[in-house]
Structures are given as C-alpha cells and as structure tokens.
Amino acid sequence: MAAWPLWLAALWWGSLSALGMWVVPTLFAQLPTKALAGNAAAALFSVQSMVSAVLGAGLLLASRADATRWHGSQARDARGFVLAGMLLALLLEFAVAPRITARVNLPVWHGLGTAMLLLQWGCAAVVFWKLARPVRATQIQD
C-alpha cells in the first residue's frame, strides 16, 4: 500500500497525457463541427481540472503521511511541483476557461490555456518521475 502516492502521480500524468494527446485531437478529427468538438473538449478539460486538484490534494496528503517516500530534498521538490500543477489547473478552470468559452480574444486565451496545460503536464511528469525513483539512504538524511 506504500505505493499509492505513485499511483496518484501516474493517474495525474496519465490522465493529462491521454486527454491532451489523444482524446481532444480525436474529438476534433471525428466530430462534425469544430464548435461541437470545442464544447466537448471544454467539458473534458473542466473535469480534468477537478481531477488534477483532487489528485494533487491526495499527493499533498501522502507527503504528510508517508515520510519515507517523501523525505529528502528530492521529495520536497516534488511537493512544489504538486502545488504548481494544482495552481495551474485551478487557474485554467476559473480564470482562463471562462474567457475561452466566451470567445474573448480567443487566440490569446487559447494559447495561454494550452501553455498552462503543458506546464501542468510537466509538473505531473516531474512528480511521477520523482516518486518513481527509489529512495536512497543519502536522500533520507537530507
């Protein structure tokens, strides 16, 4: 059961990867209009933001409960990436997405949203990578 934080990190990174690299491009390729695909993508990204927030909260709880896996400077760095990823998810949902949906200066906000999603994906990847690495005795002493 000690591996559950790793599973949370894998689910976070995997869900962002699947949505951004396969699901949304498939929507735009298969649905009859871009408007329909965009609406479906917006709904999925909204769900993903909440998934990211919940998984991030779980990872933060794990960092307090599982001292051996999260001990040392490498794990402390992972906490920062968890917080950054959660912040990006919430900003995307509550600050950027409403402007995209309202089509206010769409190219700018869509570009910013894409960049924020990529940064969130990077944060999740770093957390997954850091938790997947074995803890060495030298790291525990940090």
- pLDDT tens per residue, range 87-121: 999 999 999 999 999 998 999 999 999 999 999 99
Of the CA atoms within 13 Å of residue 59, those in its CB half-sphere come to 33
pLDDT at 4: 87
- Asked if residue 53 is part of any domain, the answer here is yes
Alpha carbons 88 and 81: distance in angstroms, whole number = 10
Residue 69 located in a structural domain: yes
pLDDT given at position 68: 57
Q: Distance between CA atoms of 109 and 103, rounded to whole angstroms? A: 9
Q: Please tell me the distance from the alpha carbon of residue 19 to that of residue 37, in angstroms, as a whole number.
A: 13
Q: Domain containing 70: what range?
A: 4-25+35-135
What tokens appear for 115 in the block?
């960049």
In a domain, 15, yes or no: yes
Angle between helices 73-91 and 34-65 in degrees, nearest 10: 150
**Does 30 map to a domain?**
no
Judge whether residue 76 has pLDDT over 90.
no
Question: SS3 of 65, please?
Answer: helix
Give a yes or no: residue 81 inside a domain. Answer: yes
Is residue 140 included in any domain, yes or no? no
| 101, part of any domain | yes
Residue 82 lies in a domain: yes
Q: Which letter, b or e, does each residue of 21-59 get, where b requires 16 or more Cβ atoms within 10 Å of its Cβ?
A: eebbeebeeeeeeeeebbeebeeebeebbebbbebbebb
pTM for the full predicted model: 0.88
Is the distance from CB of 29 to CB of 69 less than 8 angstroms?
no
Provide the domain count of the chain: 1
Banded model confidence at residue 133, pLDDT cuts 50, 70, 90? confident
